[in-house]
Amino acid sequence: MMALKNRISLPSPLFGLFCSTPSPLTVELIAAAGYDFTIIDLEHTLISPDQLAVMLMAARASGISALVRVAAPYQALQALDNGAEGIVFARIRSPAQALDAVRSCHYAPLGLRGLNSTWHSAYGRDDLVETMHAMALETLVIAMIEDLEGLEHVDAIAGVDGIDALMEGAADLSQSLGLPWQTRHPRVRAGVSAIQSAAARNGKAFCCLPRAKEDFDCAVEQQVRLFILGDDRGITRRAMNSHLVQHKPSLR
């Protein structure tokens, strides 16, 4: 399977889903549904290291690319060593933070990631130097821009060597603007547009989280090719509710 980092430059759109449920079965279901990738979320969940390891194994077995959104920078090394294709860093506010993110994900000379003979080299069976070079070409680093400070430095963040994509965080951005949960407010939309433009100016991919069909259609017209279509919990709840409504007249 081609690494997600190499697929984001292709013309076909790619669709992902946040995975917030601490279960390898959920990862398998996301793969079976046909998504191109999943982002296992450590920021807003209590997914443990042991659970994460098994979820990443499930992703490999199911043939789906798995990224991990980390709650703290030290988690990047652990996630990558256990098979994550890339890391999503929340609340990147400055080029210095972006550079630290890159350094935590890559080996020298681009980064400071510690060496270890992990599953990538079949635990030392394969040439370790060749494995390092291969991983440099396949490790995806995504910076989320989620507040006013990040927005003020978005061009400098996008320009950091090793940042592959910017992801909008309209929910937290709305809060930063004093408009909590008004993710489609004109000021929030303007902020998201600024993130998209900065990515384009710096030759980086842009990851969009459309909240409505018209948002998705607009992004497609603007040639956005990387999408997160929500998370497993929300989709599961809506599907369960829809199923119940079909059978319980009082809810119709």
Phi-psi domain of 191 (left: phi exceeds 0; alpha: psi -120 through 50; beta: other): alpha
Q: E strands along 92-225, which residues?
A: 140-145, 165-168, 205-208
**How high is the pLDDT of residue 30?**
99
> 181-212: per-residue pLDDT in tens?
999 999 999 999 999 999 999 999 999 999 88
- pLDDT (average), residues 22-40: 99
Given 44, 133, 185, 247, the catalytic residue: 44
Mean pLDDT over 16-43 rounds to 98
Q: Which domain holds residue 38?
A: 4-251
Mean pLDDT of the chain: 96
Omega within 30 of 0 (cis) for the link into 249: no
Q: Give the 3-state secondary structure of residue 40.
A: strand
Number of structural domains found in the chain: 1
pLDDT exceeds cutoff 80 at 251: no
Q: Is 44 a catalytic residue?
A: yes
For the purposes of burial, counting CB atoms within 10 Å of the CB of 19, is it exposed (0-12), middle (13-18) or buried (19 or more)?
Answer: buried
Section 23-48 average pLDDT:
98
Give the residue-averaged pLDDT of 162-172. Answer: 98
CA-to-CA distance for 27 and 115, rounded, in angstroms? 28
Summarize pLDDT for 95-137 with one digit per residue, the tens. 999 999 999 999 999 999 999 998 889 999 999 999 999 999 9
Alpha carbons 67 and 88: distance in angstroms, whole number: 7
Please state, in angstroms and rounded to a whole number, the distance separating the CA atoms of residues 45 and 171: 17
Q: What CATH number has the domain bearing residue 197?
A: 3.20.20.60
Assess contact for 141 and 89: CB atoms under 8 A. yes
> Half-sphere exposure of 199 toward its Cβ, with a 13 Å CA cutoff?
26
What three-state secondary structure class fits 211?
Answer: coil
Alpha carbon 62 to chain centroid, angstroms: 18
Strand partners, 41: 69
- pLDDT tens digits, one per residue of 223-244: 999 999 999 999 999 999 999 9
CA atoms of 127 and 197, how far apart (whole Å): 40
Residue 220 has what pLDDT?
92
Q: What pLDDT, on a 0 to 100 scale, did the predictor assign at position 252?
A: 67
Q: Provide, rounded to the nearest whole percent, the portion of the chain with pLDDT above 90.
A: 92
